[in-house]
């Protein structure tokens, strides 16, 4: 998988987080995940088509998702991961991958994205045939988010 493809995910995720939440995430060590792998309890799945094809899974804990949803909703308390919080987290995923697609486009790499799907549950396991590069982001206060990029070729 080309670095030219991964860097836009890093750039977009850091920009969107900073803009939407005011949190500037720090990048931890990027690494290759072996399939099957475990995901956190909340995962936003977005498909990629065009010059690059594959999928991106943004995973985070329910507590982190509730905190981010609260920030996105102007600080309104989020006690349970309800429909409004689910919508906020799905939109965050959509914004991150949409911005990534824009960055790729400015570099001559045309890509379309699918609407986000939200997955929830304990012990989510992802199994796929494509290589998966994990972009781990540290949000501070022992909170993190993983952006798992799986691209064909």
pLDDT at 48: 96
pLDDT at 153: 60
Spell out the residues 6+ positions from residue 26 whose beta carbon is closer than 8 angstroms to its own.
Answer: 137, 138
**Structural domain spans, the chain:** 3-151
**How many CA atoms lie less than 13 Å away from 59 in the CB half-sphere?**
22
Summarised one tens digit per residue, pLDDT across range 53-85 is: 999 999 999 999 999 999 999 999 999 999 999
Summarised one tens digit per residue, pLDDT across range 131-151 is: 899 999 999 999 999 999 999
Q: State the DSSP H helix or E strand holding residue 6, giving kind and residue range, or none if neither.
A: helix 3-21
CA distance to 6, 23, 96, 97, 124, per residue, from 13 (Å): 11, 11, 5, 8, 22
pLDDT at 38: 83
Map tokens 């990027």 to a residue.
30
pLDDT at 123: 82
Q: CB neighbours (10 Å) of residue 126? A: 19
Summarised one tens digit per residue, pLDDT across range 15-43 is: 999 999 999 999 999 999 988 888 889 99
Summarised one tens digit per residue, pLDDT across range 80-139 is: 999 999 999 999 999 999 999 999 999 999 999 999 999 998 888 888 888 899 999 999
**CATH 3.40.1550.10 matches 3-151:** yes
């Amino acid at each position: 998988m080309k670095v030219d493809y991964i860097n836009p995910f890093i750039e977009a995720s850091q920009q969107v987080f900073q803009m939407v939440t005011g949190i500037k995430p720090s990048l931890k060590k990027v690494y290759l995940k072996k399939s099957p792998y475990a995901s956190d309890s909340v995962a936003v799945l977005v498909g990629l088509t065009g010059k690059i094809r594959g999928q991106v899974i943004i995973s985070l804990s329910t507590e982190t998702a509730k905190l981010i949803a609260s920030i996105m909703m102007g600080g309104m308390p989020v006690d349970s991961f309800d429909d409004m919080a689910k919508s906020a987290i799905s939109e965050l995923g959509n914004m991150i991958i949409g911005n990534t697609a824009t960055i790729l486009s400015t570099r001559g790499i045309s890509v379309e994205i699918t609407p986000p799907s939200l997955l929830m549950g304990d012990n989510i396991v992802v199994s796929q045939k494509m290589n998966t590069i994990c972009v781990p982001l540290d949000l501070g206060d022992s909170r993190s988010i993983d952006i798992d990029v799986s691209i064909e070729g």
